[in-house]
C-alpha cells in the first residue's frame, strides 16, 4: 500500500500493494470523439475495480494532455496508466516517457488503440464503436494491473556504418557520416557507384547535366578516407542488433585485380564479344570485358564471365597483367553499429503487357531509353533517333503514367514522370526546334520549387499538352509511324494522331533485390512493394528495426533533392547512435524460471537467434542443467515460451496471465436489461 520507498528517479517499483489505475481516453479531436461516446466510455471504465480516475482529453498526446496524466498520477497516487488513443506503434514511446518522468516504470503503461482499430473503422456505427471501445479499454485495464516493471537495457554501439546502395541517396548518407568522422562501408552491387542518376541525361527542373553534377560527388566519395567503397558486392547476411550488426559482404569476381587495373579499357578494345549495353538501356553494345561507363568509380574494368568466350585476348592486351580468369568470390565480415538502406528502384517494364505497343512496335520506347538517346555519351552521341530506321523523329508523342496510377499495374503516382517528360520534351525541342511534341497526360503534377516554372517553359517552347490517355496505339506497317487514338478530355473530342516516335513515361517499381534486403534487415514492405518507414510523417527515414534507416526511392517514389535530403537525414539519425556510442533496447525478453525448468531443451531450436543456452553446470542441487536466456541476444518474440512444456519460460510484458487477462475481458456478463 505504501509507495514510500524513497529510491529516487528510477524507483521502478512504484508497484507495491494495491494496483491504482488511471485511464486516459483521448478524443483525438473528432477522430475518436466524433464516433465514440468518450464520456460514456470513461464513465463505464470508472466503475471497474482498481480504476481510481478516468479522464477525457481532446488530445492526450498534447502538452496539456500529458500534464493531465502527470498531475493525476500525483493526485491519485497511480501506479498503472492506461491510455486509450491511437496506435502504440506511433505513440507508445511518448506516453512511456511521460509516466517515466513521474517515477513510474515505463512498462506500467498500457496502450489501447481505439482510433485505428475502432473509431476509424466503424465510422457509421457509433453505438457499436462505443461498446467496442469499452471492451478494449476493459481489456487494457485488466492487463495493466498485471504489468510488471522492466528495465530497458543499454547496449554499446560500434561507431561504424554500413550504407547499402551507392546511388545519390546512399552516397550522400556515406559522405555526411564520413565527414562527421565515422568509418563508412559503402556497398554497391553494380561495378560502379552512381546508381540510376548516373544514367540520366539532364535533371529537372534546372536541366543540369546529370553526370556533371553527380561525377564530382562520386569522386568525392572515392577520395574520402573514411569511406570504403565495396563495388560489385552484395550483402549476404546480417546478424546482430542495433549497435552491433555483423554483416557478411560478398565481392563478386571482376576477374581482374583491381589494384592493377587502371581502367584504360585496352582490354575492351580487343574483346571480340559484343552484348547489348545495359547502361544504355540495351541500345548499342558493350564488350564482354568493359569499363561500366566513362565516369565510373572505381574506374576499373569488369569481365562479364557469362558472355566471355575465354579467347584470352584481353589478358594479352592488358599491360598491367591484371586479368585473372580464375578469380573466386571474396567475402568480408563487417561489424557496424548502424545500417542505412539506400537500395534504389527500377523503372516499370512495359514489355510483358505490351503497354501502348511497347515491345511490338519498334518506335515505342521508354523514357529511360529516350534519356540515353538524348545523352551526348549515349549510343547515338546525343541524337534522338527512332529505332526502326535511325531517322531523327519530327513528331514525338509522350504518354504519361505508364505503370503508375493504373489499377492494372500500380495504383500509386511515381511522382517524377510528369517532370521528366516535361524536361525530355524541352531538351529535344531546344536541340531541334523543328520537332513537334505532344504530352498525353492524366494530370500534370509539379509540386516543388521551379517545377511549375519548368512546365510553363515547356508550354512557351511550344510543347503541346493533351489531357487524355491513348485508347489505341497502332503501327503503320509501311512507315513504322505510330498512330494513336486518344480522347482530348478538355476539348471533348477524339483525336487521331500520328507520331514518328512514342515515348512512355514509365513509373518507379521495386527491383528484384528488394525482397532479399527486406528479409536480411527484417523490414516491412508497403503496398507499393517498396520498403516501409517507421512512421510516414514523423519518422520517415527510420524503420521499425532500431539502427536501420532508409534513404531514397527504396522507401517510396522520390525525386533527386528528396532522395539527397533523405540521405542526409539518415546520416543525422544514425549519428545519434554513433556519437552516443550506446543504444537503449527494449526490456521485453524471454525469462526462464529455473525452479520449474526441466532442462528438456525443447526451447533451444525454437530460437532463431540462438539466445537460449543450456547452463554448463546443474542448477543448485537438482542435478539438472537448466535453460538460460542470453538477454543481449533475445529479441523478445516469445516463440520459445509457447514451446515450453513446463511453463518455465515466460515472456516479460506478454506473460500468459497478462495475455489471458485481455482474452478474458473481451467478454462480460450481460447486464440485465429492464
Partner 1 sequence: MSSEAAAAPKTNGWEPKIVAFCCNWCSYGGADSAGMGRFQQPASARIIRVMCSGRIDPLHVFNAFLEGADAVLVTGCHIGDCHYVNGNDKTKIKYKFLENVVRELGLEKERLQLNWISASEGEKFANFIRDVTEQIKKIGPSPLKPEGVV
Q: How far is the CB of 15 from partner 1 (least distance, A)?
A: 22
3-state secondary structure of 352: coil
518 binds partner 1 (CB under 8 A): yes
Three cell numbers at 260? 592493377
Nearer to partner 1, 26 or 136 (CB): 136
Nearer to partner 1, 207 or 662 (CB): 662
3-state secondary structure 21-78: EEEEEECCCCCCCCCCCHHHHHHHHCCCCCEEEEEEECCCCCHHHHHHHHHHHHHHCC
DSSP code at position 531? B
Please select the residue that binds partner 1; options are 489, 524, 580, 593, rule is CB under 8 A: 524
Nearer to partner 1, 89 or 579 (CB): 89
Count of CB atoms situated within 10 Å of the CB of 608: 10
Nearer to partner 1, 273 or 588 (CB): 588
Of 81-89, 95-103, 281-289, 401-409: span binding partner 1 (CB under 8 A): 81-89
190 binds partner 1 (CB under 8 A): no
Residues 525, 531, 534, 540, CA torsion sign? negative
135 binds partner 1 (CB under 8 A): yes
Contact in structure between 269 and 290 (CB atoms under 8 Å): no
Nearer to partner 1, 129 or 141 (CB): 129
Distance between CA atoms of residues 137 and 117, nearest Å: 12
Q: Which residues contact 254 (CB under 8 A, 6 or more apart)?
A: 191, 232, 261, 300, 301, 302, 303, 327
Q: How far is the CB of 643 from partner 1 (least distance, A)?
A: 8
Q: How far is the CB of 83 from partner 1 (least distance, A)?
A: 14
Q: Which residues contact 446 (CB under 8 A, 6 or more apart)?
A: 418, 419, 422, 452, 454, 455
Of 115-123, 294-302, 313-321, 449-457: span binding partner 1 (CB under 8 A): 115-123
10 binds partner 1 (CB under 8 A): no
Three cell numbers at 584? 537503449
139 binds partner 1 (CB under 8 A): yes
663 binds partner 1 (CB under 8 A): yes
CA-closest candidate to residue 132, choices 108, 116, 145: 116
Q: How far is the CB of 663 from partner 1 (least distance, A)?
A: 5
Q: Which residues contact 96 (CB under 8 A, 6 or more apart)?
A: 106, 107, 109
Please select the residue that binds partner 1; options are 10, 62, 71, 87, rule is CB under 8 A: 87
Burial of 361 (0-12, 13-18, 19+ CB in 10 A): buried
106 binds partner 1 (CB under 8 A): no
413 binds partner 1 (CB under 8 A): no
Q: Which residues contact 524 (CB under 8 A, 6 or more apart)?
A: 518, 531, 532, 543, 544
Q: How far is the CB of 544 from partner 1 (least distance, A)?
A: 6
Q: How far is the CB of 573 from partner 1 (least distance, A)?
A: 20
Contact in structure between 528 and 412 (CB atoms under 8 Å): yes
Please select the residue that binds partner 1; options are 19, 52, 132, 189, rule is CB under 8 A: 132
Nearer to partner 1, 129 or 367 (CB): 129
Backbone angles phi, psi at 82, to 5 degrees: -115, 125
91 binds partner 1 (CB under 8 A): no
Nearer to partner 1, 317 or 606 (CB): 606
Contact in structure between 167 and 221 (CB atoms under 8 Å): no
What pairing do the DSSP bridges indicate for beta strands 627-629 and 612-614?
Answer: antiparallel
Nearer to partner 1, 374 or 607 (CB): 607
Of 112-120, 146-154, 454-462, 468-476: span binding partner 1 (CB under 8 A): 112-120
Nearer to partner 1, 153 or 456 (CB): 153
Of residues 563-622, those binding partner 1 (CB under 8 A) = 588, 606, 608-609
Q: How far is the CB of 582 from partner 1 (least distance, A)?
A: 23
Burial of 281 (0-12, 13-18, 19+ CB in 10 A): buried
116 binds partner 1 (CB under 8 A): yes
Of 66-74, 84-92, 293-301, 619-627: span binding partner 1 (CB under 8 A): 84-92
β-bridge partners, 54: 23
152 binds partner 1 (CB under 8 A): no
343 binds partner 1 (CB under 8 A): no
Of residues 621-650, those binding partner 1 (CB under 8 A) = 635-639, 641-643
120 binds partner 1 (CB under 8 A): yes
The H or E element spanning position 225 is none
Of 6-14, 41-49, 111-119, 197-205: span binding partner 1 (CB under 8 A): 111-119
Nearer to partner 1, 331 or 667 (CB): 667
The full DSSP string for 68-135 is: HHHHHHHHHT-SEEEEEES-HHHHHHHHHHHHHTTT--GGGEEEEE-IIIIITT-TT-HHHHHHHHHH
Q: How far is the CB of 600 from partner 1 (least distance, A)?
A: 17
Please select the residue that binds partner 1; options are 3, 131, 188, 281, rule is CB under 8 A: 131
Q: Which residues contact 545 (CB under 8 A, 6 or more apart)?
A: 242, 521, 522, 523
Backbone angles phi, psi at 455, to 5 degrees: -60, -45
Nearer to partner 1, 214 or 649 (CB): 649
Nearer to partner 1, 235 or 501 (CB): 235
Contact in structure between 252 and 233 (CB atoms under 8 Å): yes
Burial of 674 (0-12, 13-18, 19+ CB in 10 A): exposed
519 binds partner 1 (CB under 8 A): yes
136 binds partner 1 (CB under 8 A): yes
The H or E element spanning position 154 is strand 153-156
Q: How far is the CB of 273 from partner 1 (least distance, A)?
A: 38
Size of the site for partner 1 (CB under 8 A): 55
Cα–Cα distances in Å, from 502 out to 363, 365, 388, 404? 6, 6, 12, 17
Q: How far is the CB of 136 from partner 1 (least distance, A)?
A: 6
Please select the residue that binds partner 1; options are 180, 222, 444, 526, rule is CB under 8 A: 526
Q: How far is the CB of 637 from partner 1 (least distance, A)?
A: 4
Q: How far is the CB of 260 from partner 1 (least distance, A)?
A: 41
Q: How far is the CB of 185 from partner 1 (least distance, A)?
A: 24
522 binds partner 1 (CB under 8 A): yes
659 binds partner 1 (CB under 8 A): yes
Q: How far is the CB of 261 from partner 1 (least distance, A)?
A: 39
Q: Max CA-CA distance within the chain? A: 100
3-state secondary structure of 493: strand
Please select the residue that binds partner 1; options are 117, 228, 383, 625, rule is CB under 8 A: 117
Contact residues for partner 1, defined by CB under 8 A:
87-89, 113, 115-118, 120-125, 128-129, 131-132, 135-136, 139, 518-519, 522, 524-527, 532, 544, 588, 606, 608-609, 635-639, 641-643, 651, 654, 656, 659-660, 662-664, 666-670
Amino acid at each position: 500500500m505504501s509507495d514510500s520507498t524513497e529510491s529516487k528517479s528510477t524507483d521502478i517499483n512504484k508497484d507495491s500493494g494495491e494496483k491504482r489505475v488511471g485511464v486516459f481516453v483521448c478524443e483525438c479531436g473528432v477522430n475518436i470523439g466524433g464516433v465514440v461516446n468518450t464520456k460514456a466510455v470513461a464513465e463505464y471504465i470508472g466503475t471497474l475495480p482498481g480504476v481510481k480516475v478516468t479522464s477525457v482529453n481532446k488530445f492526450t498526446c498534447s502538452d496539456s494532455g500529458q500534464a493531465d496524466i502527470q498531475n493525476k498520477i500525483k493526485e491519485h497516487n497511480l501506479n498503472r496508466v492506461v491510455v486509450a488513443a491511437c496506435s502504440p506503434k506511433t505513440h507508445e514511446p511518448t506516453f512511456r516517457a511521460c509516466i517515466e518522468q513521474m517515477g513510474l516504470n515505463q512498462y506500467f503503461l498500457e496502450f489501447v488503440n481505439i482510433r485505428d482499430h475502432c473509431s476509424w473503422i466503424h465510422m457509421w456505427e457509433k453505438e457499436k464503436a462505443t461498446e467496442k471501445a469499452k471492451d478494449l479499454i476493459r481489456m487494457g485495464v485488466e492487463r495493466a494491473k498485471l504489468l510488471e516493471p522492466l528495465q530497458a537495457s543499454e547496449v554499446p554501439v560500434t561507431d561504424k556504418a554500413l550504407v547499402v546502395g551507392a546511388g545519390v541517396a546512399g552516397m550522400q548518407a556515406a559522405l555526411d557520416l564520413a565527414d562527421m568522422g565515422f568509418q563508412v562501408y559503402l556497398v554497391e552491387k553494380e561495378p560502379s557507384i552512381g546508381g540510376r542518376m548516373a544514367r540520366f541525361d539532364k535533371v529537372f527542373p534546372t536541366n543540369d547535366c546529370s553526370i556533371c553534377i553527380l561525377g564530382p560527388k562520386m569522386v568525392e566519395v572515392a577520395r574520402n578516407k573514411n569511406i570504403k567503397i565495396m563495388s560489385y558486392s552484395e550483402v549476404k547476411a546480417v546478424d546482430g542488433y542495433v549497435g552491433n550488426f555483423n554483416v557478411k559482404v560478398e565481392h563478386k569476381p571482376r576477374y581482374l585485380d583491381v589494384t592493377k587495373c587502371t581502367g584504360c579499357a585496352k582490354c575492351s578494345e580487343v574483346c571480340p564479344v559484343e552484348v547489348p549495353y545495359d547502361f544504355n538501356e540495351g541500345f548499342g553494345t558493350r564488350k564482354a570485358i568493359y569499363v561500366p561507363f566513362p565516369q565510373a568509380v572505381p574506374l576499373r574494368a569488369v569481365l562479364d564471365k557469362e558472355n566471355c568466350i575465354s579467347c584470352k585476348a584481353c589478358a594479352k592486351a592488358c599491360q598491367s597483367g591484371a586479368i585473372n580468369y580464375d578469380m573466386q568470390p571474396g567475402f568480408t565480415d563487417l561489424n557496424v553499429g548502424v545500417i542505412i538502406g539506400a537500395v534504389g528502384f527500377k523503372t516499370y517494364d512495359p514489355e510483358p503487357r505490351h503497354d501502348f505497343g511497347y515491345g511490338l512496335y519498334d518506335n515505342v520506347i521508354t523514357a529511360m531509353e529516350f534519356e540515353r538517346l538524348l545523352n551526348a555519351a549515349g549510343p547515338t552521341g546525343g541524337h534522338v533517333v527512332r529505332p526502326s530506321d535511325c531517322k531523327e523523329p519530327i513528331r514525338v508523342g509522350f504518354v504519361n503514367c505508364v505503370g503508375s496510377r493504373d489499377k492494372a499495374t500500380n495504383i500509386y503516382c511515381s511522382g517524377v514522370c510528369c517532370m521528366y517528360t516535361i524536361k525530355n520534351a524541352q531538351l529535344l525541342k531546344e536541340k531541334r526546334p523543328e520537332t513537334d511534341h505532344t504530352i498525353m497526360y492524366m494530370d500534370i503534377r509539379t509540386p516543388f520549387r521551379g517545377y511549375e516554372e519548368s512546365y510553363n517553359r515547356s508550354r512557351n517552347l511550344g510543347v503541346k499538352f493533351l489531357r487524355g490517355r491513348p485508347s489505341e496505339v497502332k503501327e503503320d506497317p509501311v512507315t513504322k509511324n505510330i498512330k494513336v487514338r486518344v480522347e482530348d478530355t478538355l476539348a471533348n473530342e477524339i483525336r487521331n494522331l500520328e507520331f514518328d516516335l512514342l515515348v512512355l513515361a514509365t513509373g518507379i517499381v521495386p527491383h528484384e533485390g528488394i525482397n532479399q534486403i527486406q528479409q536480411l534487415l527484417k523490414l516491412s514492405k508497403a503496398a507499393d512493394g517498396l520498403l516501409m518507414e517507421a512512421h510516414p510523417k514523423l519518422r520517415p527515414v527510420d524503420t521499425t528495426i532500431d539502427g536501420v534507416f532508409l534513404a531514397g526511392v527504396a522507401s517510396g517514389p522520390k525525386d533527386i533533392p528528396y532522395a539527397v535530403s533523405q540521405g542526409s537525414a539518415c546520416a543525422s539519425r544514425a549519428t545519434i547512435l554513433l556519437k552516443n556510442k550506446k543504444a537503449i533496447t527494449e526490456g521485453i525478453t524471454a525469462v526462464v524460471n529455473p525452479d520449474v525448468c526441466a532442462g528438456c531443451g525443447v526451447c533451444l531450436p525454437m530460437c532463431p537467434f540462438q539466445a537460449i543456452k543450456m547452463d554448463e553446470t546443474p542448477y543448485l542441487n537438482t542435478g539438472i542443467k537448466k535453460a538460460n536466456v542470453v538477454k543481449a541476444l533475445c529479441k523478445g518474440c516469445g516463440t520459445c515460451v509457447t514451446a515450453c512444456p513446463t511453463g518455465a519460460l515466460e515472456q516479460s510484458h506478454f506473460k500468459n496471465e497478462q495475455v489471458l487477462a485481455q482474452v478474458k475481458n473481451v467478454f462480460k456478463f450481460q447486464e440485465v436489461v429492464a
